[in-house]
Amino acid sequence: MKYNASCHCGTVRFTAEITDGMASARRCDCSFCTMRGAVAVSTPLDGLTITQGADNLTLYQFNTRAAEHYFCKTCGIYTHHRRRSNPNEYGVNMACLDGHTPFELTEIIVHDGQNHPNDGGASDGVAGILRYEARR
């Protein structure tokens, strides 16, 4: 399915084809993702189109510099990243997708970014599961 998406302030707008829907939702426990706290869903590289504000995106890379993390320069929201574990895909911030929130999911797989499979970690790359239970 194709989703419309934007950063918090609306300066950056894009569309993303999320091929596996919300089933691809995941977190990561590497130092950066732990602090960022976003839930990402997958799209192929040709499935993401910036429709507005491409010049307002900024790039952040660290450690191996394989992953490319993009943020809105105005509001600071992470919109998407080119994945280190699969450079043929982008991870898209699920909270940027119109009408979606990570809180609609009860369980989210957490990938083991501290022991990344590309660095000799377990092949399934799973560190655990994050659970959310609404109280309303």
In a domain, residue 73? The reply is: yes
| pTM (2 d.p.) | 0.90
d(CA 133, CA 136): 9
Quote the domain boundaries for residue 16.
Answer: 2-131
Q: How does pLDDT run across 34-93, given as a tens digit for each residue?
A: 899 999 999 999 999 999 999 999 999 988 888 899 999 999 999 999 988 888 999 999
Sheet bearing 2-6, strands edge to edge = 2-6, 13-17, 48-52
The tally of domains found in the chain comes to 1
Task: Write the DSSP symbol of residue 134.
Answer: -
In a domain, residue 35? The reply is: yes
In a domain, residue 136? The reply is: no
> What pLDDT, on a 0 to 100 scale, did the predictor assign at position 33?
84
Q: Regarding beta strands 107-111 and 26-28, do their DSSP bridges make them parallel or antiparallel, or are they unpaired?
A: parallel
Q: Residue 42's domain is classified under what CATH number?
A: 2.170.150.70
Q: How does pLDDT run across 105-133, given as a tens digit for each residue?
A: 999 989 888 776 666 666 677 888 999 99
> What pLDDT, on a 0 to 100 scale, did the predictor assign at position 66?
82
